[in-house]
Each structure stands twice: as C-alpha cells, then as structure tokens.
Structure 1
Amino acid sequence: MKHTIIAAALAIASFSSAQAASINGLHNTGEGISGTADAYYTLSSSSVSNTVPTITNGSQWPINPWLANTDASKWITPTGTQGESLDPWSNGTYTYTLQFDLTGYNAASAVFNARIAADNAVSVKLNTTSLLSNAVGFTNWSDFSAHSGFVAGVNTLEFTVTNYALNGGNPSGLRVEFLNSNVAAVPEPEAYAMLLGGLALVGAIARRRKQQ
C-alpha cells in the first residue's frame, strides 16, 4: 500500500514539474562578440539605414558613463560605430524588436521579469500591451515585467528608444537583461491520462481507508 501511494504521488509530481519551463527566446542584448551584429534583435529607425544593431565594446566610450557591460548582457547601438553622434537637430526614434515563440505552451501562464537601460529614454511593449513608458537612464536600471499580454505562437517585444536631440557627443543605445521567466507547457493527452490515473488512485486509497 505504501509503495502504491508513493507511485501515485510521484506520477502527480512529475506531471506538475514537467509543465514548468523558462521562456525560450528571451535573449539579453549583446549575446555575442563585441563589434558584431546582434543575432536576436532587429532595428527600425528613420535616423539610420541599419536594420540590425551592433554589440558594443565594453572598453570604448560611451560605456562609461553607460552602465558597464557584463557577461550577462551588453549594450547594443544603432550603428557599427558605438560612439557615433546622432540626431543633432531633432529627437531620434529607434525601435528594437525581439520575437519569441510560445507554440506548445500555455500563453496565459507566461510571466517574466527584466530590467532595462537606454540612452536616452525607452518604452516597452509586448504585442499590444504596454509594459514600460519613457524610462530614462543609462547609468541605472529600470525594472519591468509581464504577467499578461502573451499570445499563442509568436510574440513580439518592442523597445522604442528616444534619443534626445543634441548637436555633438550624442550616441544612443539599448541594454536589456531578462532576470527570470516561466511558462506552462500544454500537456500531451498521455500526460493528462497519467495525472487522472494518479488522482483516481489516491482517491481510491482514501475511500478504502475510510471504509476500514
């Protein structure tokens, strides 16, 4: 009897643990070699022709005063010259996009926590849901998170950076670092059967004990 109860409990526990996973595709900025294109983020801007941002070199300006690069994440910039002065007469807008796929997962269960820095201000949107609005700062982090707004299939995160106009010494960049995430898988029919069988077994044992 004892072994039967343990087996049923293990079946239920294995079902629960198998369903939890980190969200695949939530990449930090700068996962790669300095000076190369970021493989996961795309860029759209009327200020530059580039469609792929560049990973910065941590020993070159403007990393200081920008937050220092780390092994976890690095700054990315709109052009290959990270200190290039941009937007001399009017504010520039740079939209960085990251996509991830929740196919096979329960989108309603997805959550993540992250932090961000930008030169100068940044807003964050998940699909059509606003997560952060006009956070300013390249010497400190701003936290943001998502607990809703996910969709089945491909999801899009948009990071819209505003670079304030300045005639000279005016680079722009983005830094994103995901801290943790979680999503539940959509169980296969066999997994449901295992769960129901385990629950039925536990219920039968409980009834038998009550009758005794």
Structure 2
Amino acid sequence: MQKQWLYMQGPRIIGPVKSALIADLVLKGELDASDTIQSAETGLWQKIAEIKEITDIYHKGASKPIFSEKEAQRFQSWIEANQGKEGDYDFEVKDAYFYNIHWKTTMLLSFFSAGLFNLFWFFRQWTWVLSTYKKQRRDWRAFSIFLLFAPYIVMAEIEDFPEFRRANPTRTNLKFMAVLWYLVNSVSISSPWPDLGMVFNIGFLLLSIAGSTAIISYVQRYINESNHILGRI
C-alpha cells in the first residue's frame, strides 16, 4: 500500500495524497523533485527526490507515449522548419490554414466534374479568406465580385500569408499563376476559333480544364506542404 503525503501549494497544505499523485505532479511540473513534502504517518518532511517509492514511479515515465505517431511527425516537422529560429512549439493541434484537400484529389474531382470543382475550390479558399480577414467582407460579398476578383485575391493571400512565408516561402509567383488561370479559362469562354468546328472547340475546352486544374493542384500542394511543415495537418 502506497504511503500518503501532504504538500504545499501556495499558502495551502493539500493532502493526504498517495505517492502516485505526487509522482504525477512532478511529471506535470507542478512539483519539483527538490520540493519537500510531509509524511502523513510520521509528520517528517522529506525531499521528493529522496523518497524511493515516489522516484520509482516517475522514473518509469508515463504509462502511455507522450506523443502519438502523428504528433511526433508534427513535432519533427516543426523542428526541421524552425532550425535556427526562435519560437515555442504549440502542442495544441489547430485547424489547417486555408481549405485543405489532397492535391491529387483536386485533379480527380476537377476532371470528373468537367472543371466545376475548380470553382468550388476557389469558393472554399475565398470563404476562408473572408472568415479570417473580416474587414474585407464589406466589399467582397457580391457574387459578381467573387467571379471577377476572387481567383487573384485568393492566390495573393496564399502567397503573402505570413505563416507560409516564414515556414515555406514559395518559389513561384502565385499572383502570376492567378493571371495565368484567367488566360487559360478565357480560351474556353471566348471560343476564338468558331469556324474550326465542335471537335476543336471541345479540345480547347479540355485544354482549359486541364490547365486550370494543374494550376489549382499546384497551389493546393503548396498549401498542404506549408500546413504540414507548420504542424497543422
């Protein structure tokens, strides 16, 4: 049967508690091994580090791993991304930045939806931007404004996002990618060669979908990699 102890917490004396609880408090950092506690049986004060029953417990460590495999990978990613930089690791798992989906999945969904998924992708990224930067809601709510400006604004926000720039600065100008997206999609919308027939126009449409999909898949891959480095996914 474990011994029982009294310990100080500020001006209060707490206890009696069992040795296992004292060991747990040491592991949590609420007590230090150099602190003294009082035996509930003898009334003697002893340093925790000198009480074998307690040290045996906390030297065994936690009964479960401190990190799960996923958390360990997240911590390792943070270490690799922050070598030589100041900052504290955030043990709380938080939501990812921007809309997250596997970049290969964006390609599949885009082709199966004949490119309609690309509009959904921009809409999801757009709503994330609006929810994060509330000051911009006033001017950007109109659907017509969304259709015209959202692709460029979304790409610009991703490229200039401070956390991404710190942890994983992009080597590609995403604002240019947005302009390229407009150009690629204008091919299918304008139909510049109507006399070439339906087959050619369908071909231009497919090329437009492929080009648009390649652009958003590239950007989505950058989002995913950045979130992974930051330990968000």
TM-score tier after normalising by the smaller chain length: under 0.3
Q: Please identify the structure whose Cα radius of gyration is greater.
A: 2
Q: TM-score, normalised to structure 1's length?
A: 0.26
**Which structure: greater strand fraction?**
1
Q: TM-score, normalised to structure 2's length?
A: 0.24
